[in-house]
Structure 1
Amino acid sequence: MKKIFTLILTLYTGICVTNAQTVLLNETFVAPTTLNGWYLQNNSNPNGTQSWSQGSGTIFPAFSGGPNDYVTTGFNTTLGVGNISCFLVTPTLNLTNGGVFQFATRTFSNPAQFPDHLEVRLGMTTSSTTIGSTTLDVGAFTTVLHDINPGLTATGYPSIWTVYSTTLSSITGTQVGRFAFRYVVPNGGSAGSNSEYIGLDDVKYTAPNCPTAPVVISPASTTVCAGGSVTFTGSGATTYTWTSGPQSTTYSVSPSVTTVYTLSGTNPGGCPGVATCTVVIGPPPVVSVTNMTVCALQNATITAGGASTYSWSNGGTTPSIIVPAPTGSTVTYTVTGFNGPTCSNTKTVSIYSNTFLTVPNSSITACPNQLALISANGASSYSWNTGQTTQSIAITPTASGIYVVTGTNGSCSESLQIWVTIDPDLYAPSHTVCAGISATLVATGAQTYSWSNGSTSSITVVSPTTNTIYSIIGTSGACSITKTVSVTIGNNLSVGALQKCIGLTTLLQGYGANSYTWQPINDFNPNVLVNPTGPTVYTLTGVSGTCTGTRTLQITWCARVQEFVDVNESVRVYPNPFGTEVTIKDAYGDVRMVNMLGQLVLATTVDGSTKLNTEALSPGVYFILITDPKTTDRKIIKVIKN
């Protein structure tokens, strides 16, 4: 159920009026209030059962007086869901500049489940009660003095009594007017998402007799050195007169002793106001700052004293500044201290870098794979990126690189690098060439060269027929190093076939390439089944990278297929036909099983004997290919799965 109220403890604030004033309205809504001279109008749509009414201390107590001494309005100003616009208008008042209008208000809870919104408006007409009849009409109340929670937020309306105050201005002479409290909430009501319950108390309007002009001087006080000057600026009045000075807002002075100056001003009503300012003559500040020594590559904190404000050469304005570590041995900063705008003194401070670590040589040349010594000096302890912690370390470099040493003295540490270059730094890349093509081997990084093929040039040309490894010795002075260079034949194409006569199915096989093309059948598989009806020459073209090779097979009447050699006939394959398993005995090497289309279905290796799990294979004819890795001989056995 919407909007259930309970009693809560209320905090409240007060207003203190200090100038001589006349209170023209002081409404505390003592229960039962008659609202004598007040005007009420409810423009909510639809119109509810309640407008503004007497408050209830059981929901929350009044700001002052008895618990019920306030007026209230809320969601009952409309029925169900509607747009609320409900006015409570003060009696007619004589309004002048400087008049103070104040009131206290609060809502039930904060954060509120159903937010409230209150406008306080001013109407400058004789009666100001012709408002209109719609939820948007405000009549003559066109000036908004206060707008409390216009965004209808959960926390925008105070849940404790809060006093709001407005001082009137821009009124010519004395005029008749009224103040209006407009409770305005869209989508309000007992079933709406907004509007709850607000209270209004202690509505007061106080007319000024002659308020003091709020004269202010800036700065109110300052310190200058002897002979220095300062300019004061007055505000808060319409006319200004400086004692022994001009009738203007500003006054520039240069006293020789500490002096107090007085500014008199009047407001538009002729009411006076007075303010004073002081110029203190002070000595130049004695700026203190101490030179520092810091660890290399570490920031330093410099602190100055003896002045009120500071200006550093790096742009800092605080007594202490943090500066980066010196890039050299020393860096200098300047600080100026001020006591007032014209009283200053300057001092210089130096920051020294505690650099201690050195190395005899920042770069050396060493023989590869031979001992070399590197060292550092100037620290009490050392740590190398190799993990060693002695001043000098022995290294055996295999490649050129950087060695880092970190030295420590007390709380300071720093690091240096030593570049170690190996010579000779032999480089000779390996090559892949097509069969029948020469390879040009190139070595760099040494003074002289010696190849395993007898060449002593940095470049040698070789023409191997198989994969071959060459060695090269590179020499520079007394140092030498040996490396190997591989030459790989990129295409070592070979072919084979099951020995069959013309008219029977034959399995053609290709090896040693990445892609294959069989002609004249235009097949691209490495293994393919054929059934020639007459003498046929099959040509296989194999491609590996940029290398291409060609081999041929000829099948004649009951002739053996060329380029195929059977392995030992003692190889046994059983059972044949087979079911879920095939056993291979007395065989060594790679084992592959292909179907009638030449597609690989199983692959393994055998070292004496092995068993193939054929449970997943479909019934039909298969070929088992056994290749001896030592002799490259092959055996092809036809098997059948039931």
Structure 2
Amino acid sequence: MKKITFLMVAFLATSLTFAQVLEIEEGFEDITILTDWDFVNASTDADNASSSWAQPDGTVFEAHEGDPGAYISVNFNSTTGVGTINNWAILPELTLSNGDELKFWSRTVDGQAFPDRLEVRISPDGSATLPIDDGSGEDVGSYSELLFSINPDLEGGDAYPDVWTEYTVLVDGLAAPTMTRLALRYYVTEGGPSGSNSNFIGVDTLSLTTFPLTVGENAFDGFSHFVNANDEFVLRASTQMENVVIYNTLGQQVINTKLANTNEAVNVAALNSGVYIATVSINGASKTVKFVKK
């Protein structure tokens, strides 16, 4: 049983290989250098609003890390009177995949009396079309996929925390790895200087980590396997294979064969009926799969 447990752990470990790349690490010490970001105010009456995303002076509250004003903030002055706040901070364009990880810290003011809301969105088709000020305060451009929301129902109290709190958001909604953008959306209905909602929020210590395909994973694009009617374990790949090792469920090696083509057939007629585990090598990388010999 110990050998079986070890083999299944090995199966999981070799089937799931990850690399990670820290693409963005931002402390917002000086937002004037964020030239690859876009800050777009598409709130109602945005042209007459007195504020958008900005570098605060740190008097409302201090940054999570660094100098007191080392964060980005946005507030109720994103619109006039009573309106819908639709104010965007859009991250740089990157190749993203489902499971990539955005982290950031956020908070609102002490003793919140006017609820705030922050969304994280993605442009799933990669077009990254910016939201526009169409008068409704609702336009999202191509950022149709909502990944996460702080205080989605605009509740009072501590629904939006008044202490710095870390959030982790996983990328989702992509059909394949896509060159696209993530966005922070300050979205508050009934907001503005005369509204019942919206106050002041900050975002700090933001990072974006991607988990791109490793060399080994790329080597196995299009890989497939099956046992045919002639008791042959058939292996197909888009890249020339090098070797296959087959184990029984006791962890005993039963076949070890060199390979040299993209389409191979390994004779397994001598094996007893049952479940087997095969490790295939391509370009120094390996992939482990299970198959059944009848």
TM-score normalised by L of structure 2: 0.62
* SS in structure 1 of the partner of residue 77 of structure 2: helix
* SS in structure 2 of the partner of residue 54 of structure 1: coil
* SS in structure 1 of the partner of residue 103 of structure 2: strand
Supply the distance in 2 between the matched residues of 1:201 and 1:194 (Cα, whole angstroms): 22
Q: Is the CA contact (8 Å cut-off) linking 1:31 and 1:68 kept in structure 2? A: no
Q: Aligned pairs, how many?
A: 204
Q: 1:195 aligns with which of 193, 198, 207?
A: 198
* Alpha-carbon spacing, 1:91–1:32, altered in 2? closer, same or farther (3 Å): closer
Supply the distance in 1 between the matched residues of 2:115 and 2:191 (Cα, whole angstroms): 9
* Alpha-carbon spacing, 1:46–1:207, altered in 2? closer, same or farther (3 Å): same
The aligned amino acid for 1:61 is E
> Counterpart of 2:143?
141
Supply the distance in 1 between the matched residues of 2:189 and 2:212 (Cα, whole angstroms): 41
Q: 1:208 aligns with which of 187, 211, 218?
A: 211
* Alpha-carbon spacing, 1:172–1:187, altered in 2? closer, same or farther (3 Å): closer
* SS in structure 1 of the partner of residue 113 of structure 2: coil
* SS in structure 2 of the partner of residue 194 of structure 1: coil
* SS in structure 2 of the partner of residue 33 of structure 1: helix
User: CA-to-partner distance for each residue in 1:29-72, whole Å, 9 max, x for gaps?
Assistant: 11353321111211212221111000232111112222111100
> Counterpart of 2:114?
114
Give the superposition deviation at 1:163: 1.5
User: CA-to-partner distance for each residue in 1:421-474, whole Å, 9 max, x for gaps?
Assistant: xxxxxxxxxxxxxxxxxxxxxxxxxxxxxxxxxxxxxxxxxxxxxxxxxxxxxx
Give the RMSD, CA atoms, in angstroms.
Answer: 2.8
Q: 1:151 aligns with which of 150, 153, 157?
A: 153
* SS in structure 1 of the partner of residue 69 of structure 2: coil
User: CA-to-partner distance for each residue in 1:189-244, whole Å, 9 max, x for gaps?
Assistant: 12211101000112221112569xxxxxxxxxxxxxxxxxxxxxxxxxxxxx9852
* Alpha-carbon spacing, 1:75–1:163, altered in 2? closer, same or farther (3 Å): same
> Counterpart of 1:81?
82
Give runs of aligned pairs for residues 306-321 of structure 1, distance below 5 A. none
Q: Is the CA contact (8 Å cut-off) linking 2:94 and 2:179 kept in structure 1? A: yes
> Counterpart of 1:23?
22
User: CA-to-partner distance for each residue in 1:562-583, whole Å, 9 max, x for gaps?
Assistant: xxxxxxxxxxxxxxxxxxxxxx
Q: Is the CA contact (8 Å cut-off) linking 2:127 and 2:142 kept in structure 1? A: no
Supply the distance in 2 between the matched residues of 1:87 and 1:75 (Cα, whole angstroms): 14
- Residue 58 (structure 2) pairs with residue 57 (structure 1): yes
Supply the distance in 1 between the matched residues of 2:70 and 2:286 (Cα, whole angstroms): 37
- Residue 184 (structure 2) pairs with residue 181 (structure 1): yes
Q: 2:170 aligns with which of 167, 186, 191?
A: 167
Could you tell me which runs of 5 or more consecutive residues in structure 1 were left unpaired when the two chains were aligned. 1-18, 212-240, 246-262, 274-642
The aligned amino acid for 2:169 is T
> Counterpart of 2:250?
244
User: CA-to-partner distance for each residue in 1:113-142, whole Å, 9 max, x for gaps?
Assistant: 111011110113445133232311111111
Q: Is the CA contact (8 Å cut-off) linking 1:92 and 1:127 kept in structure 2? A: no
Give runs of aligned pairs for residues 464-543 of structure 1, distance below 5 A. none
Supply the distance in 1 between the matched residues of 2:86 and 2:278 (Cα, whole angstroms): 48
The aligned amino acid for 2:195 is G
Q: Is the CA contact (8 Å cut-off) linking 1:84 and 1:186 kept in structure 2? A: yes
> Counterpart of 2:36?
37
Q: Is the CA contact (8 Å cut-off) linking 2:42 and 2:131 kept in structure 1? A: no
Supply the distance in 2 between the matched residues of 1:163 and 1:197 (Cα, whole angstroms): 17
* Alpha-carbon spacing, 1:45–1:210, altered in 2? closer, same or farther (3 Å): closer
Normalized per residue, the structure richer in helix is 2
Give the superposition deviation at 1:172: 4.5
Q: Is the CA contact (8 Å cut-off) linking 1:55 and 1:72 kept in structure 2? A: yes
> Counterpart of 2:242?
none
The aligned amino acid for 1:28 is G
* SS in structure 2 of the partner of residue 79 of structure 1: coil
Q: Which has the larger radius of gyration?
A: 1
* Alpha-carbon spacing, 1:158–1:35, altered in 2? closer, same or farther (3 Å): same
> Counterpart of 1:458?
none
